[in-house]
Amino acid sequence: MTTQTLDTVLRIFRHYKLLSTNQTLIVGVSGGMDSLALLHILIQLQHELKIRLHVATLNHGIRGDSGASDAEFVGQMATKWRIPYTQGYIDVPLLAKDEQIGVEAAARKARYRFLSQVAREQNAETVAVAHHANDQAETILMHIIRGSGLNGLLGMQFVSPMPNNPALRLIRPLLKLQRTDLEQYCLQNDLRFRHDKTNDDTDYQRNYIRHEIMPRLNTVNPNVVGALLRLSDNVRVDEMYLDQQAVQFIEDNVEEADNFWCVNLKVLSQQPLAIQRRFIMKAFNKLTDEVNSISSDHVTALISWMDGANVGSQLDLGQGIQSRMGYELLYIETKNYLPSYKNYALIPEGTNKTIIHSESQSGTYNVNIEKQYGLQIGVADNLSSVDEQSVVIVYPQDAIVRLRTRVNGDRFRPKGMKGRSRKLKDWMIDRKIPRQIRDNIPLITINEEIMAICVGKTWHLANSPQDYLNEKTLFYLMLR
């Protein structure tokens, strides 16, 4: 059995190209049967694989002295087998409280954070964990119970990005071995492992499935583990094709950035529902650095919301991610994201700066008053001193000119309306100025009346009162 187990794992390493030669492999070891067997197997294979091993063991702060004792046991075994190791400690109950998540989720998050940290410290790119075929079957069953889509039926992969750290690779060399295989391996090699009593606590969902549900399913089908794994293999073929179609759609139609993904809503709506769902999942997972982290309910809610959402409305998707409706585009973005809108010159919301108070000024002016935010604003006493690309506004001698952003109740007198005014908000909506930046659009007021609005690279001027046009002092605006 020992030789057969080693051959199986060696074939997995080679077939799935789990690790290149001359690399350091971080091995997550808890001291239990699965991880101790994994470490022992890797020690037997390390010369043939031409790799270096480094053990990482974490005390989760859940079991007091027992947890500390397990970590010490792993350190002793690593020393005995001459493998360098790193011990860590994280207070998982405190982490669960701080982040308002369950203890299981907090333990998983803490574990992967720790493994990522050790990998960085050891200049390693790959981490190995001891998930096996029974774990895989339990994971698939959990996903079925939660109402997963096809992707959830794939279960865990032999190689996947590290959760929260996609630059690292997470490998699972034991996925083809069942728990009975590992039990037999430990027995034949006289491996004495530790037993974590929390693994018997059926208050935890996975433990309940392992100790209560799977045994009952075994009475219906003694090879229920194999059946669930075949289900995963069958789904994989269809999922690969659909995923390829989704990737192609994204490459052709989606704008990606660190803080958002956006797509033309009409184009997305014309796609099959399977592609729409995969676009949403891929966008969410990329923005959160998670794998399969968005719930099916959120995906369904977003697709339904897309049909009737108003421009500027938002939908919370969880984990700091939201969807936002633009005029023609659908955004999936981080909540703290403010788009750069490269075609707009924007100023901070609430800006209200006096540029000219003409009573206090005299003589000839050709001075740049404002050069921030991509704007250049100045005054001059005649047209010859103004750049030919500038927009010129005439203002009275007693004027107070301000640069500011909009406030409630603002109205604007656009040219072509014979001096009539309209709400600034309606004027901005007509020009499809994104809702998120309307409070950052530069406005110029003369004696509190809006005389110019900068939209894109154009200053839109008001229909000025006639007496403004008879003055000699000029006010000019331009973009840098």
Residuewise pLDDT in 10s, the chain (480 residues):
678 999 999 999 999 999 999 999 999 999 999 999 999 999 999 999 999 999 999 999 888 888 899 999 999 999 999 999 999 999 999 998 988 888 888 899 999 999 999 999 999 999 999 999 999 999 999 988 887 778 788 899 999 999 878 899 999 999 999 999 999 999 999 999 998 887 888 888 889 999 999 999 999 999 999 999 999 999 999 999 999 999 999 999 998 888 889 899 999 999 999 999 999 999 998 888 665 568 778 899 999 999 888 877 889 998 889 998 877 889 898 886 666 666 788 888 788 888 766 554 433 333 344 555 556 666 555 545 455 555 556 566 667 888 889 998 999 988 777 778 899 999 998 888 887 788 889 888 888 889 888 887 777 878 765 444 333 344 445 443
Right CATH number for 254-334 from 3.40.50.720, 3.40.50.1360, 3.30.465.60, 3.40.190.10? Answer: 3.30.465.60
In this prediction, residue 94 carries a pLDDT of: 93
Q: How far is CA 352 from CA 187, 401, 448, in A?
A: 77, 10, 11
In this prediction, residue 152 carries a pLDDT of: 82
Fold of 2-227: Rossmann fold (3.40.50)
In this prediction, residue 134 carries a pLDDT of: 96
Cα separation, 433 vs 414, whole angstroms: 16
Angle between the N-to-C axes of helices 296-306 and 273-288, in degrees from 0 to 180, rounded to the nearest 10: 120
Look-up: residue for tokens 């650095």?
289
Cα torsion angle, 75, 78, 84, 90, sign:
negative
In this prediction, residue 479 carries a pLDDT of: 42
Cα separation, 477 vs 480, whole angstroms: 10
Spatial contact of 59 and 30, defined as CB atoms under 8 Å apart:
no
In this structure, the number of other CB atoms found within 10 A of the CB of residue 258 comes to 8
- Taken as a whole, the chain contains a residue count of 480
Q: How far is CA 313 from CA 46, 60, 324, 375, 436, in A?
A: 56, 42, 6, 30, 10
- CA nearest 377: which of 363, 400, 361, 356? 356
Look-up: residue for tokens 């994994």?
38
> β-strands 51-59, 23-28: how paired?
parallel
Spatial contact of 313 and 325, defined as CB atoms under 8 Å apart:
yes
Q: SS3 for 261?
A: strand
* Ranges for all domains in the chain classified under CATH 3.30.465.60: 254-334
Spatial contact of 35 and 130, defined as CB atoms under 8 Å apart:
yes
* Ranges for all domains in the chain classified under CATH 3.40.50.620: 2-227
